Every structure is written in structure tokens, then in C-alpha cells.
Chains A and B, each alone.
Chain A
């Protein structure tokens, strides 16, 4: 491994090189410290009852675990970030497989897991060609191996479920990990995840406070059109506001990007993140409705399963990645084929 790759993987001393990383870390710490005080204050003034207080605290404890769990690997280095995302992908697949019943098809499940691990290895290696190659190869492999069982009844369902699992939790989600191959990945990843999570919150709050016209009542009866549009506006504002700090002026100058162009890029990115994030949420709602489940699992108290929390991230990852990759390129300034050698 070259010194540059080691620096990228384990260079924890660079954790706070970028002001955005420093300030979001401080901001999140302050927010996590302040939330219990706010809940207590609300309960004291009788604004919320004991039941709601309990629910809020349950959600708060989940965030208290989730935020450091997501933030610390990103701060530690690209290696830990990718490892964390690989683990997250596998756990998400596990929930999906158990909810759909695909887990009973051990051979297909094994191939999907192998595909997810393979894709994440390609990410870790920063070997883009392998990363691109693995998806179609594993799709072919799943379709082929499922034939060998000589059980044509239900073949389409089994293979399609396996392929959808591979695409959503392998291909899509590993794009999030690929961001970690960029030298500036810490603020970019934090920025992206923050925007996606904020988008969820915006849609929830706006949807609760105004609008009665339902978005897709059969899929998700609580979501309103106003909530969806409000989230697009608010998330875009957030993305534009925070995005200003992502790249220093010197970088923009050397790459010939004017302030105006940057503003245009960020506005589009904000709309993409918000729309695709909400679509990801609806994809999971559709899966749950189809299966007749309320939650995908019981992993996170107050949230349901992992997928109930990370659903919006799954589709945003490839969309944001290819948007950024098209205009700026990701991971091209870093050593490629770290393990396999180039």
C-alpha cells in the first residue's frame, strides 16, 4: 500500500482538516447534548405528555447511538468508512431477505452477500472497472446458479428478489462508500448524509403542519404533497447553504468554476437529493405494503428496522455519486487498485 493510500485509509490526523467536518461534528455534539434538556423542558411545561416523552426519548437514544456510529468511521478514515458501509449494506440486506422470505433461498442469499462484499472490496481498492463489472456479473451468476436447483416453479420471483437485493444494497449503497475514495470525502459524505436525513425531517414536519392532499395514499397514507414539495424547497436551501463551504475558493478558481455555476450545481444537487431521497423512502414503503409489514425489523428502537431509517439513502447514493462524478470526478486523484496493484 502506498503512503498516499495509507493516509487516505487511516489518516485520522486529517479528520478535522476541513472546517465543515469540524463544525458539523461540534454542531451534532451540541444538538445531541441539548435534546434531552429540551424534552425535559417540554415535559415540565406540560406541552407533551408522558407517552410522547417516552417515545421522543426512545428515538433520541437511537440517534445517540447512530450518530457516533456513522460519524466516527468517517472521521477515522476511508478504510473504516467503507467497512462501515459494507456492514450497513449487509445488515440492510439481511432485513430485506427476512422480510421478503428470500433468506430461505440460501444459495441465492449467499451470492447476494458475496456480491455486496465484492462490490465493497472494489470500492476499497478504488478499482472502478471492477466496481462496474461486478454488478452484471453477479446478476448473471444469480440467474445461472438458480437454474442449477432444477426448481423452475418460482424461479422468476427468487431470481428477481435476489437481483433487486443486490442492486439496492450492493450496487446502490456501495456508491456511498465510493465517495470515501475522494481526498475531500469527509465533508462531502457528512454533507450528503446530513442533507438526506434533514430531507426526511423536513418532509415529516411540513407534511404534518400543512397540506391535506395526499402524495401516494396507497403507498404511504401519511405523506402529503405539501410535505414533499416543502422538503424539496427546504433541502435545496440547506444544500446550497452548506454546499458553499464544501470547496474552497482556490479549488473553484483552479477548476474554472464560477460562483454562479457552483450555485447552479448545488441547486440541482439539492433537488436531486430531495426528490430521490423521498422516492427511496417510498420504494421501501411499497415493499412494506406489498409484504403487509409495518416495520422491516426491530433493530433500532423507535424507528423500526435499519431500512426504515436508511431507506432514503439507498437511491440517493448512486444519484449523488454520478452527479458529482460527472462534473467533478470522484476518487480520480487517489491511488487506484490499492490492494490489487496497478
Chain B
């Protein structure tokens, strides 16, 4: 049980548009309400339009912190991964989204922050600084990240090489990393298409991996990326 501490919001003093783009953003009552409504809508939508099926639901952690990683082929991916998580964790689940796509236009940034609760990752100059900040947040407070180690959507449905940045978040920590495989998202909403087609989507969740002993340096990060890629490919093969 935590002691009470007078701890101002980490984003205190920022203007509203700065808050949306901040990695330190914390939800208040209004965004909590928006999250709950938005994710209820997304759950319903995925169940009805894409007949979402989840295999290995028991592997989804019920306790924070954790990191969900998956293959990335569609804008639907983060929604599918976050949808099955319980509503009381909503404020603490942060999909990591591309800054240049979701955080440049103010209206889209507001939506990404207030409804989806996404945090930006700037791909062009994704400094180790941002990754360090994310790593620190994962250690300091109970929260969860959803991220895609490919660093972008696959253009042909095949899994692309994994980037090692993910390793910088979890190497040497006991944060469980849960590998997931998404099937059907590419067919439903591939890069370039505007509206999702009513194709079935399947989410396969694998057992969590821990990288407590991985060194927090390039060798360790690459090891983590390779282990997760292997786990996700196994999940992919297990279904077909």
C-alpha cells in the first residue's frame, strides 16, 4: 500500500497542446471519462465489425506494469491490443504511437491523447532521451505500454525487422513483456486504405517474457528484440 505523497501531476505547468504531446501526461477526470467511453465503443466495434477472437487471454497480465508488443500492419493494431484490457487500467495503458502521424496536427493530437491515451514517439529523431523517459516512467509508476518493435506498419503483411529501441525500455528490469500476434488487421485496414473492411481479426497472446538478466546495452537490446520476434513468429505459426 502506497503512502500518500503530495506529488503534482508530472505535466503540471504545461499548456494543453503541450500536455497532449508530453510523455509525462497524466489523465484527469475528463480524459478518464473520455477513455472509458472511447474504449467501450472500440470493444463493441471490434466485436461486431471484426468479430474479434482472442486466443490465450489468460496470458494477459492483470497487474501493472507490463508491455504488450505485437506485429504491426494496421492502424487497428493498437486498438485491438488495448481493447481486451480491463477498464480500470485505461488511464495507465499507453499505446506508443508515431509522433509524425498522430501528434503533429493539434486536433489529431488531442484525440490521440484524450481518447486513445497514446504517447508520441518521434521516429525521425527518436532520441534515446525519449526512450529513457519512457523507461523511467515504467519504473516509477504502475503503467503499461503497447508498442510495435517494427517501428512502422508493414506494407505487405509480412513481419519486418525489429528495432532494438524496445530493449532500452525493459532490459535489466522485471517488467513482463507479453508477445502478441495480430492476424487479419492487414486485410481489414492496410496502410493506404481509408475505411476498415469487415474482416475477422484474431489476437493471439503468448506467455510473458522477462529480461531481468539482459544487460542494458546494445547487445542486450538486440537479444531482447530477437527473443520477442521469435516468440511472435511462433504465435503466428501456432495458428496456421
Contacts and interface: CB of A to CB of B under 8 A. Distances in A.
Nearest to A160: B4
Contacts of B9: 98-99, 101, 103
Nearest to B29: A109
Contacts of A100: 6, 8
B1 A103 contact: no
Contact of B4 (A94, A106, A158, A290): A158
Contacts, number: 56
Nearest to A304: B13
A153 B8 contact: no
A157 to B, nearest CB: 4
A298 B1 contact: no
A154 B15 contact: no
B12 A157 contact: no
Contact of A157 (B4, B11, B13, B28): B4
A297 B1 contact: no
A298 B8 contact: no
Contact of A153 (B4, B13, B32): B4
A52 interface: no
Contacts of A103: 9, 26, 28-29
Contacts of B2: 153-154
A151 interface: yes
A295 interface: yes
A97 B12 contact: no
Given A94-B28, A109-B29, A110-B29, A99 B12 contact: yes
Q: Which of A104, A157, A291 is the most central at the interface, judged by chain B CB atoms within 10 Å of its CB?
A: A104
Given A106-B29, A106-B32, A153-B1, A295 B13 contact: yes
Interface string A140-164: 0000000000010110011000000
Contacts of B29: 103, 106, 109-110, 113
A299 B14 CA distance: 8
A43 interface: no
A101 B4 CA distance: 9
Interface in B1-52: 1-9, 11-15, 18, 26, 28-29, 32
A154 B4 contact: yes
A153 B3 contact: yes
A98 B8 contact: yes
Contacts of B5: 101
Nearest to A294: B13
B1 A293 contact: no
B73 to A, nearest CB: 35
A157 B1 CA distance: 15
Contacts of B12: 98-99, 293, 296-297
A147 to B, nearest CB: 15
Interface string B77-110: 0000000000000000000000000000000000
Given A103-B29, A106-B32, A113-B29, A298 B14 contact: yes
Nearest to B14: A298
A41 B172 CA distance: 62
A298 B6 contact: no
A291 B8 CA distance: 7
A52 to B, nearest CB: 23
13 contacts: A98-B28, A100-B6, A101-B5, A103-B26, A110-B29, A113-B29, A153-B1, A153-B4, A154-B3, A291-B8, A293-B12, A293-B13, A297-B13
Interface of A: 94, 97-101, 103-104, 106, 109-110, 113, 151, 153-154, 157-158, 290-291, 293-299
Given A153-B4, A154-B2, 4 more contacts: A151-B1, A158-B4, A290-B6, A298-B13
